[in-house]
Structure 1
Amino acid sequence: MTVPSFEGKTTQKAAVCHGAVDLRIEDKPIRAPAEGEAQVAMGVTGLCGSDLHYYSHGANGTFKIQAPMVLGHESCGIITALPATLPAGCTLQVGDRVALEVGINCKNCKYCKEGRYNLCKNMRFASSAKTFPHLDGTLCEVMTHPLDLLHKLPPALDLPLAALAEPLSVVLHAYRRAHLQPAARVLVLGTGAVGLLACALAKASGATTVIAVDIEQGKLDFAAKMGWVDGTYCLPRGPRVSGAEALEAAKTNWEALQKDAVVTAVEGLEEGFDAVFECTGVESCMQMAAFAAAPGSKVLYVGMGTPVLALPVGAAMLREVDLIGVFRYCNTYPDALALLASGKLGDVGKMVTQRYPLDRAVEAFEDVKRGKDKDGNTVIKVMVGNLDLK
């Protein structure tokens, strides 16, 4: 393997978001690693829903871009430089292939000390406008990153596949909060990358029934082809609604699903599921999740993007349904990488449907926005970056 070199270079290319539909490929400075950091040549970055929100609206929920920000956070790369002195116990070397965990926590607050560092109020997360000054993301050629947030890849794991460790970490964190038994019956709303990985993990973990719901039949067909679901249901497309209209749509959609063959074929399933993983962030789907959960079960709210919404809390309370928020992840990366390398989730690499070099990042985002590429192929996961880095 040839390790890229940036010696003597002072600038690099990066995909910088200035606002809604304003993404520019610009020169950014290259910074040498400081104490406790490594320099990493970026491989590929997977584009996700939050990236799309920033690209499309200049905001993700209530987090608005206040200054130009490099997007991207689902990333992997190769270490190209290290500081002169490494901390005790650090075994990383130049040339190591690594996945980047991009949430930099303070390590000193109550939540960090309890191991729930995803809740750290002082966390700076790459490509998130939650904090200001923003921390640039990974859609660039090279970046410096804390050593303790670089995770060495298992030898059997291909570098591009390692970028899926970030969305898989979200799913792992949600699954741990669900505390499901092996024979669980699971509903997954939304079959983007996170939803598909939720389906795959549920099946690998012993769920007896996994049903996926989306408005895009192509994604549902992909989930079925991969063997990650026992049934699918395609919701009718309609305008995005809120408030009372969203609640009415949620009730209608759940009643229709209850009567569909994918539910009626399983005894008792019309009463609801043991867990519902809501992976869209769409208000009507978040409401539908509460209705679709069986009495005494759980809803995992994984999707984000709706800043203010109404949930049918009364309907959940009367049936002791736990409504559980899922925010990013913590202590998941080693397990996520091991899972990806093990093959237990199936051929998840097939989720990567489009690949673009960094200088075509705008085209990549437009594909994600449309849900189709220029040839009409369904978009599931788009990777952007150095396609030659292995």
Structure 2
Amino acid sequence: MAATRTKASVLHGARDLRLEERDLPALGPEDVQVAIKTTGLCGSDLHYFNHYRNGDILVREPLTLGHESAGVITAVGSAVSTLQVGDHVALEVGQPCEQCELCLGGRYNICRQMKFRSSAKAFPHAQGTLQERIIHPSNWCHKLPSSVSLELGALVEPLSVALHASDRARLSSGSTVLVFGAGTVGLLCAAISKAVTQSKVVIADIQEERVRFAVENGFADAAVVVPMKRPETVEAKLEFAKEVAELVKSTEYGDSHERVGEVDATYECTGVEACLQASIFATAPGGRIMIIGMGNPVQTLPISAAALREVDLVGVFRYANTYPRVIELLASQNPRLPDFGKLITQRFSGMESIPSAFDMAARVRDNEGNLVLKVMVNM
């Protein structure tokens, strides 16, 4: 019998998480009840936790965070025929209207009526997955094969961001790709580029340990450590961006002594102005820059350097029509895929550990000196 109450982690203010019980919505004929088993913490969750806002999006009511999740079906609605109790599922937590021109055209990720669990953009807020159970539309639950663990199921969400970026990049096989940012999303963009478009990948970050991790674990082919500089004037910033671009171009792949040169596409995953500027200078004529990182909404860019070489700036927002393909990729045993399990660097068990998990997600290294990449909360 379906449960009617659930325990939830609820954010009431900056760093004010409380464990509470709430009523579950009624199980509709097209819905399923899911026991959440694992949730990865994301950068947007961390912004809400620390500031009770994400950029200019303010939290207006108590909010449960979490959206990178997988779980087990515990009840199904009367009209559900594709899922059954006991199935393991990855949760696609965006709920578009499914009726507008964008939804009908397959671009439901930018539906104007989108409600996305753990985001405060829509009101009332769609509550996230850091709770024992949720009621969710069955068509946004994706069954996992037995070869894909629940933890990998939780990674389907950020992997979908990477695959959607790859879709929009429209690269031919054997392209050269630059990734700015060696956090989870940057590492996954690198991995998808290697596996799907069979690209050569160079990854850049200010943290040497992260780019070294990427190369040593098969996420990228070459690494660039971006110098720690903070130029003040526009002119100095653009000179620094050119310096970083030249550093990328002169980097060599492993022991081959082959230089990277200009790249066919850049995945900008940091949101940092200097990285977007450097992306323009590093990308070849006719190339594309995938804008993935959410940074300062107002930035100074050398736009003529892009326009005169027809370098396209392409927005990437979440994903659409990616979950089945990501799950298929995870189950494929593709030899070009890295071990995604190595991305999960810290695990926390039980809902009482969620505040500690958020504290860990804000760190660069844990108490043992290990890199902090993806922090996972297992129920």
TM-score between the two structures when normalised by the length of structure 2: 0.92
5 Å matches for 1:267-346?
267=259, 269-270=260-261, 272-344=262-334, 345-346=337-338
Does the C-alpha gap of structure 1 residues 62 and 244 become closer, same or farther in structure 2, counting only changes over 3 Å?
Answer: farther
> What is the CA-CA distance between 1:205 and the residue it aligns to?
2.8
Q: Which amino acid aligns with 1:237?
A: M
> What is the CA-CA distance between 1:30 and the residue it aligns to?
3.1
1:351 aligned to 326, 330, 343, which one? 343
Q: How many angstroms apart in 1 are the aligned matches of 2:164 and 2:232?
A: 29
After TM superposition, the structure 1 stretch with the greater mean CA deviation from structure 2, 14-23 or 207-216, is 14-23
Residue 74 of structure 1 aligns with which residue?
68
Does the C-alpha gap of structure 1 residues 15 and 375 become closer, same or farther in structure 2, counting only changes over 3 Å?
Answer: farther
| 2:29 equivalent to 1:39 | no
Does the C-alpha gap of structure 1 residues 139 and 317 become closer, same or farther in structure 2, counting only changes over 3 Å?
Answer: same
> What is the CA-CA distance between 1:245 and the residue it aligns to?
6.2
Does the C-alpha gap of structure 1 residues 172 and 371 become closer, same or farther in structure 2, counting only changes over 3 Å?
Answer: same
After TM superposition, the structure 1 stretch with the greater mean CA deviation from structure 2, 343-352 or 303-312, is 303-312
Does the C-alpha gap of structure 1 residues 318 and 158 become closer, same or farther in structure 2, counting only changes over 3 Å?
Answer: same
> What is the CA-CA distance between 1:306 and the residue it aligns to?
2.5
**Retained in 2: the 8 A contact 1:297–1:321?**
yes
**Retained in 2: the 8 A contact 1:32–1:39?**
no
1:370 aligned to 337, 343, 363, which one? 363
**Retained in 1: the 8 A contact 2:12–2:61?**
yes
| 2:129 equivalent to 1:135 | no
| 2:50 equivalent to 1:64 | no
**Retained in 2: the 8 A contact 1:242–1:309?**
no
Q: How many angstroms apart in 1 are the aligned matches of 2:100 and 2:149?
A: 36
Q: How many angstroms apart in 2 are the aligned matches of 1:238 and 1:139?
A: 38
> What is the CA-CA distance between 1:244 and the residue it aligns to?
6.3
Regions of 4+ moved over 6 Å: 240-245
Q: How many angstroms apart in 2 are the aligned matches of 1:197 and 1:164?
A: 9
Q: How many angstroms apart in 2 are the aligned matches of 1:300 and 1:114?
A: 21
Q: Secondary structure at the match of 1:164?
A: helix
Q: Which amino acid aligns with 1:351?
A: L
Higher relative contact order (CA 8 A, sep 6+): 1
| 2:44 equivalent to 1:50 | yes
Does the C-alpha gap of structure 1 residues 157 and 242 become closer, same or farther in structure 2, counting only changes over 3 Å?
Answer: farther
1:30 aligned to 24, 32, 56, which one? 24
Q: Secondary structure at the match of 1:16?
A: strand
> What is the CA-CA distance between 1:206 and the residue it aligns to?
4.6
- Write out per-residue CA displacement over residues 216-261 of structure 1, whole angstroms, 9 at most, x where no aligned residue: 2222122112122221011133559796665454233223333444
Residue 92 of structure 1 aligns with which residue?
83
**Retained in 2: the 8 A contact 1:62–1:307?**
no
Residue 115 of structure 1 aligns with which residue?
106
Does the C-alpha gap of structure 1 residues 247 and 60 become closer, same or farther in structure 2, counting only changes over 3 Å?
Answer: farther
Q: Secondary structure at the match of 2:331?
A: helix
Residue 223 of structure 1 aligns with which residue?
214
Q: Which amino acid aligns with 2:347?
A: R
Q: Which amino acid aligns with 2:123?
A: F
Q: Which amino acid aligns with 2:150?
A: L
> What is the CA-CA distance between 1:342 and the residue it aligns to?
1.7
Q: Which amino acid aligns with 1:213?
A: A
Q: How many angstroms apart in 2 are the aligned matches of 1:250 and 1:262?
A: 22
Q: Which amino acid aligns with 1:179?
A: R
> What is the CA-CA distance between 1:324 and the residue it aligns to?
0.3
Q: Which amino acid aligns with 2:39?
A: T
1:17 aligned to 8, 11, 29, which one? 11
Q: How many angstroms apart in 1 are the aligned matches of 2:196 and 2:376?
A: 27
Q: What are structure 1's unaligned runs of at least 5 residues?
A: none
**Retained in 2: the 8 A contact 1:45–1:138?**
yes
> What is the CA-CA distance between 1:74 and the residue it aligns to?
0.5
> Over aligned residues, Cα RMSD in angstroms?
2.2
Q: Which amino acid aligns with 1:383?
A: M
**Retained in 1: the 8 A contact 2:109–2:317?**
yes
> What is the CA-CA distance between 1:6 and the residue it aligns to?
6.2
> What is the CA-CA distance between 1:82 and the residue it aligns to?
1.6
Q: How many angstroms apart in 1 are the aligned matches of 2:242 and 2:355?
A: 38
5 Å matches for 1:102-181?
102-181=93-172
**Retained in 1: the 8 A contact 2:280–2:302?**
yes
After TM superposition, the structure 1 stretch with the greater mean CA deviation from structure 2, 253-262 or 123-132, is 253-262
Q: Secondary structure at the match of 1:163?
A: helix
**Retained in 2: the 8 A contact 1:242–1:283?**
no
Q: Which amino acid aligns with 1:296?
A: G
Q: How many angstroms apart in 1 are the aligned matches of 2:233 and 2:65?
A: 28
**Retained in 2: the 8 A contact 1:103–1:124?**
yes
Q: What are structure 2's unaligned runs of at least 5 residues?
A: none
**Retained in 1: the 8 A contact 2:226–2:244?**
yes
Q: How many angstroms apart in 2 are the aligned matches of 1:103 and 1:249?
A: 39
Equivalent residues, number: 375
